[in-house]
Structure 1
Amino acid sequence: MKDFTRGREWSQILGFALPMLLGNLFMQLYQFVDTAIVGRFVGKEALAAVGASTPVIFMTIALVVGMGIGASIVISQYFGMKRYDRVQATADTLTIFLAVAAVAVTVLGVLFSVPLLRLMKLPEEIVPMAAGYLKIYFGGSVFLFGFNSVSAVLRGVGDSKTPLYFLVVSAVLNVGLDLLFIVGLGWGVPGAAWATVIAQGAAFLLAVAYVNRKHTLLKFNLINPKFDGALFRQCLRMGLPSGLQQTFVAVGMVALMGVVNGFGTDVIAAYSAVNRIDTFVALPVMNFAAALTSFTGQNAGAGKWLRIRRGLRDTLWMSSGCVLVLNAVLILFGRSVLRIFTDDPAVLDAGYECLAVMNSTYLLFNLMFVINGMLRGAGATVFTMLITFVSLWLFRVPAAVFLSGVFGETGIWWAMPVGWAAGLAGSVAYFYSGRWRNRGVGRPDASSVAPPAEEGL
């Protein structure tokens, strides 16, 4: 557990972000390995199938993941208030909700995988592989939700290290199972799905066992947890906007995938590979933003608004530095990185073009995402939901449709910075309005403690 209401802002945020970053690095590493082994040992059609499955998975689980974000915000604010009884009760309530949601997602995912893939205009020869992958993945969604629940609760109380240890175990296990199932046994795309499900299950069970034995504040009661309706409504108020935000993004990914699918297997495979690479570039941004969300939540609970602004300033500097270094590396060596997935010239050409556009404009995404992370921690989750909807559905998706009609697949790539720029403009305007200072669980009146203009960020 960590108290973010005192100490140097940048060092606390960095110290909290690094374990999450390492943990997510391992998680993305095994997804990266999944895709690379499938592309190398099964073929570009299989690479396209796994890549096309990603937005469907995201769309199906997005609303539920948003509830986990909401619970984490509620926990962090109660932790900042020293209301430890509310922290445990929120964890119990989240456990019950996610258990029910996992069953629903499994049923819906298995029933509607094929219709969704066809709605996305996925080439018919790829549909059976993608559908098989999805059905196995959704069958193990209880493990995915379970581990996300443990991680969300621990982040809320300032513990980002514990999930890291089990993600490392999960990543190593996943890579070993990938090699066994795909290369050794020749299971193809289903082997990648089984490897992921088994690895997620191991991470979840180990994390629960460890927390229940070692943690001084939290226990995960998987047999008879207690549901608190009032706390659930608070989580819903914080989490539903975040869940809807995730859903907007997920449905937008499906819509964009539909545009990509219209350009054939080579472009689908290229887009799939780039998305895996993109996850590594986004990791520093997302983890710094997540750390800032917990930092902001505790300090909002304690009414320390100047401290929140300084935390935002420091986080923007740290995340921007990471992004600029990674962007430079991928602009210089992007084609070599793409060769990890395939040697097909058409796929490499399309993929490198996408990487070049993305990495030359990625700072826009970084600034938008970090500012929104702070706003979420303060409880302004409705605004971040709306700004995501506007940037994606009023700018990026229409731009992708229009520009792809004029410039081909190149237009899809340039639609990304269009959406990021629109979202950044809205987030900056809302931050300077100061309205985010009265959006927490206690709804403190912050007007009398608003920071003076000379504080800046």
Structure 2
Amino acid sequence: MKQENNLTEGNVFRVLLEFSIPFVIANVIQALYGAVDLLVIGKYCTPESVAAVSTGTQVTQIITSMITGLTLGGTIMVGKYTGMNAKEEVKKTIGTTLSIFGAAAVVLTVLMLFFTPAILRLLKTPEESFELAKLYVIICSCGILFICGYNAISAILRGYGDSKRPMMFIALACVLNIVGDVVLTGILGMGVAGVAIATIGSQAVSMICAIWYLNRNQFIFTFRFANLKIDQDKALELAKVGIPISLQECMVRLSFLYLTSVTNRLGVYAAAAVGVASKYDVFAMLPATSIAGALAAITAQNYGAGKPERAKRSLAAGLAFAVAASAVFWLWAQVSPQTMIGIFSDNQDIIAAGIPFFTSCSYDYLAVSFVFCLNGYLNGRSKTIFTMISCCFGALALRMPLIWLVYSRWPDNLFRIGTIAPLVSGFMACYTLIYVIYGFWKERNAGRVSKTG
């Protein structure tokens, strides 16, 4: 099986689009998991069930964020060694990545089974939704191995220059998830348990099919237990690159969990409304998150191949595309937020609670596009310490204290609470852009010195 895309050659904008569009589609499909769960629950079940799945999804997303952060480290390493045309190093990286993720999946599963009730208590989950939320999270936690597996395989393929096959594997999982949701919840009446079982079942089938397909098509790495070996040097490099990305993802998710815990205190309708908004956050920010992931792979390959200027041009093209795409959702939220909420729930109390929140928080769709793309470029250059510090600062020193401050002064004002995310993202975009420009300046001066020397 040949490398799908050489990200170091050809027209920059064309390569970015060809590589990113399957990335975007894959992320849209992946986002449909939680969205379909909420749609089915909203159609067939009670507002308490909607609030339970909304809160439960917030918990499971922090696990997914941790996993995808680490797998992005694998993308960057595979991309770098692919750009260097070092095939044996690519194989060692893949074997190490898969082995580490297998062990991590077991540990995370055990931890979630023990600590789910305590986490839901910390989130101030409404009592009427607590048992349902616990059931949802525990069932989903039993599928962490499959989440790790197919995210790791997708990340490896993207680093290798292939964004189409991850899209195919995730599309399969999504179709199975939709069918499972409708059958288990809509027809068999299993409620929250039905959507959770459909989710982990579809992920399991997707991972198994991905392994079977790649082995049949002579991928650079053969998926066998004998090849699952941890190379110490690669493990250290993966930790150095991947852990900061994972930590920043978790801190951002933690800050949004804190928002969930605050809005849960306002009752079932506010909790459900913010849960619906979190689904749109995922979709509206998909162009930016997809471009960011693509930029990490493109930047890693091009710096590995000694082509930094090409990586910079890719960043400029990616920023333009991400902001333009996210603006569509921002405009929708400004013109007709009630129709956005109405897709997930026709309960008038949920719609009334959500309108002011959507109106203010939607500005984050624009601001965060800059943050994600700039961080994607920096991650591709292995500047993950900066992006980790930046995201942790934004989450812990800015977003969470501001949520507490606004809630303590205006406890029932979801509009003011919704303004916090875009304000923080805007500030983060400014100082990250300054850091990137400073890096450009240092590179240019270093190039001048080397020429004169």
Match of 1:365 in 2: 368
Are positions 1:434 and 2:433 aligned together? no
Are positions 1:170 and 2:173 aligned together? yes
Match of 2:270 in 1: 267
Post-superposition offset of 1:224: 4.5
1:26 corresponds to which of 2, 24, 29: 29
Deviations 1:337-368, CA, capped at 9 Å, x for gaps:
31122222221022222221122342111111
Task: Summarize the alignment of residues 110-189 of structure 1 with structure 2, pairs less than 5 Å apart.
Answer: 110-189=113-192
Measure, in 2, the Cα distance between the counterparts of 1:210 and 1:85: 22
Match of 1:40 in 2: 43
Task: Summarize the alignment of residues 13-92 of structure 1 with structure 2, pairs less than 5 Å apart.
Answer: 13-92=16-95
2:426 corresponds to which of 411, 418, 421: 421
Measure, in 1, the Cα distance between the counterparts of 2:423 and 2:124: 24
Are positions 1:340 and 2:350 aligned together? no
- TM-score normalised by structure 2 residue count: 0.94
Are positions 1:448 and 2:447 aligned together? yes
Amino acid at match of 1:268: A
Post-superposition offset of 1:449: 6.7
Give the match's secondary structure for 1:328.
helix
Asked if the contact 2:281–2:365 (Cα under 8 Å) also holds between the matched residues in 1, the reply is no
Amino acid at match of 1:426: Y
Measure, in 2, the Cα distance between the counterparts of 1:398 and 1:419: 11
Match of 1:211 in 2: 214
Are positions 1:409 and 2:408 aligned together? no
Give the match's secondary structure for 1:399.
helix
Larger CA deviation: 209-218 vs 271-280: 209-218
Deviations 1:24-75, CA, capped at 9 Å, x for gaps:
2122223211101101211111111111112322334543432211111111
Measure, in 2, the Cα distance between the counterparts of 1:293 and 1:49: 35
Amino acid at match of 2:418: W
Give the match's secondary structure for 2:271.
helix
Larger CA deviation: 10-19 vs 401-410: 401-410
Measure, in 2, the Cα distance between the counterparts of 1:223 and 1:65: 25
Q: Report the CA distance shift for 1:436/1:260 in structure 2 as closer, same or farther (over 3 A).
A: farther
Match of 2:202 in 1: 199
Asked if the contact 1:404–1:410 (Cα under 8 Å) also holds between the matched residues in 2, the reply is no
1:389 corresponds to which of 388, 392, 407: 392
Amino acid at match of 1:77: K
Asked if the contact 1:16–1:291 (Cα under 8 Å) also holds between the matched residues in 2, the reply is yes
Aligned pairs, how many?
Answer: 446
Post-superposition offset of 1:437: 8.0
Are positions 1:287 and 2:286 aligned together? no
Amino acid at match of 1:391: G
Give the match's secondary structure for 2:126.
coil
Measure, in 1, the Cα distance between the counterparts of 2:212 and 2:252: 33
Match of 1:103 in 2: 106
Deviations 1:435-454, CA, capped at 9 Å, x for gaps:
8989xxxxxx9922799xxx
Give the match's secondary structure for 1:404.
helix
Q: Report the CA distance shift for 1:9/1:450 in structure 2 as closer, same or farther (over 3 A).
A: farther
Match of 1:455 in 2: none
Measure, in 2, the Cα distance between the counterparts of 1:446 and 1:289: 27
Amino acid at match of 1:395: L
Asked if the contact 1:55–1:251 (Cα under 8 Å) also holds between the matched residues in 2, the reply is no
Measure, in 2, the Cα distance between the counterparts of 1:183 and 1:139: 22
Measure, in 2, the Cα distance between the counterparts of 1:449 and 1:207: 47
Amino acid at match of 1:164: M
Asked if the contact 1:395–1:418 (Cα under 8 Å) also holds between the matched residues in 2, the reply is no
Measure, in 2, the Cα distance between the counterparts of 1:342 and 1:247: 29
Deviations 1:296-315, CA, capped at 9 Å, x for gaps:
00111122121111111111
Larger CA deviation: 355-364 vs 288-297: 355-364
Asked if the contact 1:61–1:105 (Cα under 8 Å) also holds between the matched residues in 2, the reply is no
**Structure 1: where are the runs of 5+ without partners?**
439-444, 452-457
Asked if the contact 2:330–2:362 (Cα under 8 Å) also holds between the matched residues in 1, the reply is yes
Asked if the contact 2:38–2:344 (Cα under 8 Å) also holds between the matched residues in 1, the reply is yes
Asked if the contact 2:67–2:151 (Cα under 8 Å) also holds between the matched residues in 1, the reply is no
- TM-score normalised by structure 1 residue count: 0.93
Deviations 1:133-190, CA, capped at 9 Å, x for gaps:
0111000111110000100100101100001112111111111111111011110001
Match of 1:441 in 2: none
Are positions 1:255 and 2:261 aligned together? no
Q: Report the CA distance shift for 1:76/1:437 in structure 2 as closer, same or farther (over 3 A).
A: farther
Measure, in 2, the Cα distance between the counterparts of 1:298 and 1:147: 22
Give the match's secondary structure for 2:38.
helix
**Structure 2: where are the runs of 5+ without partners?**
none
Are positions 1:94 and 2:97 aligned together? yes
Measure, in 1, the Cα distance between the counterparts of 2:64 and 2:366: 28
Match of 2:299 in 1: 296
Deviations 1:257-311, CA, capped at 9 Å, x for gaps:
1111111111100011111122111111111111111110011112212111111
Q: Report the CA distance shift for 1:384/1:412 in structure 2 as closer, same or farther (over 3 A).
A: same
Measure, in 2, the Cα distance between the counterparts of 1:446 and 1:146: 43
Asked if the contact 1:92–1:221 (Cα under 8 Å) also holds between the matched residues in 2, the reply is no
After the TM superposition, list the runs of 4 or more consecutive aligned residues in structure 1 that deviate by more than 4 angstroms.
435-438
Asked if the contact 2:329–2:365 (Cα under 8 Å) also holds between the matched residues in 1, the reply is no
Match of 1:442 in 2: none
Deviations 1:231-263, CA, capped at 9 Å, x for gaps:
010111101111111121222222221111111
